[in-house]
Structure 1
């Protein structure tokens, strides 16, 4: 039989769903990502791996896929085209690299790594291996933010003046991995990513860190809250707040010379929600209600397209985000 060309192999691969294995049984995998993957026609969930065989079996059962004991075994499986990595943040770099070296496409939870140089190295490795790497920042795939950017571009609120964003969540059980410094816990890495990425996404320009504070409440070994002040070269400021021991808040406001736009449920908008954007100009207030949009499904579909193309998605944004988070951490540590 003659050897198939690269183009023929790509066509054969693109004719079937991307076969995904999941490294770990984290809550976000069970609650959000696995259901979305199972519903996506371009994806087939073929395996779930855990170091605990019982947990792997329990997680895999609803999807009729294989339970695999150990992450190494899943990466060695030639029937797996891609992997999803929902492990604790401190483990991302190790297992993303292992997956890339096994020639698997990778969708990894945010933050991709805890060091900008490590993030850059993984994207470089993905390019060398000709596989796709994507950081799982889901909210940017929701169409409400496209509507906001269009309003700003059309001058609906005049010239930009400031941006404010909050993402805070209530306290969890004390043994939650978010409070474990050895696993990359802390508010900056968990909830801080959202307002930082929102500032990048909505202001669409380079951002400089002016100041930052990280706060650890008594009894915690990690930062449980924080705030940061950023600015653009043009003088637009961005005030960001994040936390793990707060009342729930998920929002941003963009202020201009003639008005402001506010978005609530900005980062974790449920699939069935009809989001409302509040546009205030002078004494006039408009709240256009948008059609529901499933940001998780959109994320999974985007990853499937990237995997089929063998091209990473969101590399510039992930690198900028990694550098900003690192600067925030360093600035807070020196204050």
Structure 2
């Protein structure tokens, strides 16, 4: 596999896309084509017409079939927005062909799958990066700064909710065989946010997953976590809700609340609320483009050998946490 095209500041990662998912259409491909250090070469789908629709908007060559895209000799990397249950299979195949991989969240359906993917990336000396876009937005760094500065005193608890309205019939996220269900789709956001704010040492002490017997997947869930020091996290998620995307940190002297935590558009100026006994303050933060930021980070990982934000330890730890939540969950119907 040849290196990224060009030299010096003109170098660009030649990327192909495996799958024509909605997240690619709405968020990631617009960011890719706007990034000068990445060049979209091809888009693959099992449906040739769908691949053409994507390339007519974003450029590149349409390819019928994922294997045919991997067999090309003009790529440095692939972006994989396929269903979660297909991430490991296609990421491993791409890595073994010498391609860097940007894969949609969550990285895998289990810690075992994540370990195979990371082992393959290490053996191939290729980058494997998970596309958890919210981590690249500056609003979370501001929350962490306020907590570290003691603005809410001793941290006591973290609460988070991420829910979306019911999905249309036949949606891929309803398919158990493709890694569907609310835990892997929306539940991973509150779990990852808890690790971001409370650290990696989290113990699931209880969970409930509500399973739809007709669909065969969980459609909602609640999780209780604790840290060794006794800080708790209460998480709720699902795709049978009115839209909600927020978290709060509650301490001995106050509370921080952040709305639009996970999917703020690039033009939005987030509002952070700091609540104390006799004072409520609202801070309007700078707008930030988390979609562009994650694409720039991937380009830097490939071209400049800058390690991705989340290394192997975090990726394995997050996958392990999902396993443990699933393992302790009480199932409701």
Q: Cα distance, 1:309 vs. partner?
A: 3.8
Q: Cα distance, 1:312 vs. partner?
A: 5.3
Aligned to 2:22: 27
Pick aligned residue for 1:269 from 264, 289, 314: 264
Pick aligned residue for 2:187 from 184, 189, 192: 192
Q: Per-residue displacement from partner, 1:216-254 (whole Å, max 9, x unpaired)? A: 245432100000000000000000001011111100000
CA distance in 2, matches of 1:93, 1:302: 21
Taking the TM superposition and a 5 Å limit, the aligned residue runs for 1:1-335 are: 12=7, 15-217=10-212, 219-310=214-305, 313=308, 314-315=310-311, 316-332=313-329
Q: Cα distance, 1:62 vs. partner?
A: 1.5
8 Å Cα contact 1:165/1:239 also seen in 2: yes
SS in 2 for 1:224: strand
Q: Cα distance, 1:311 vs. partner?
A: 6.2
CA distance in 2, matches of 1:280, 1:25: 43
8 Å Cα contact 2:210/2:331 also seen in 1: no
- CA 10–73 in structure 1, closer or farther in 2 if over 3 Å, else same: closer
CA distance in 1, matches of 2:196, 2:159: 13
SS in 1 for 2:183: helix
SS in 2 for 1:174: coil
Q: Cα distance, 1:333 vs. partner?
A: 5.1
Q: Considering only aligned residues, what root-mean-square deviation do their CA atoms show, in Å? A: 1.9
8 Å Cα contact 2:5/2:13 also seen in 1: no
Q: Which runs of 4+ in 1 moved over 6 A?
A: 8-11
Q: Cα distance, 1:63 vs. partner?
A: 2.1
TM-score, normalised by the number of residues in structure 1: 0.94
CA distance in 2, matches of 1:32, 1:88: 16
SS in 1 for 2:217: coil
SS in 2 for 1:288: strand
Q: Cα distance, 1:121 vs. partner?
A: 2.1
CA distance in 2, matches of 1:46, 1:10: 11
Q: How many residues align?
A: 329
CA distance in 2, matches of 1:117, 1:13: 39
SS in 1 for 2:144: helix
8 Å Cα contact 2:5/2:12 also seen in 1: no
8 Å Cα contact 2:6/2:12 also seen in 1: no
CA distance in 2, matches of 1:199, 1:150: 16
Aligned to 1:3: none
8 Å Cα contact 2:52/2:62 also seen in 1: yes
CA distance in 2, matches of 1:43, 1:27: 20
SS in 2 for 1:172: coil
8 Å Cα contact 1:24/1:49 also seen in 2: yes
TM-score, normalised by the number of residues in structure 2: 0.95
8 Å Cα contact 1:105/1:310 also seen in 2: no
SS in 2 for 1:285: strand
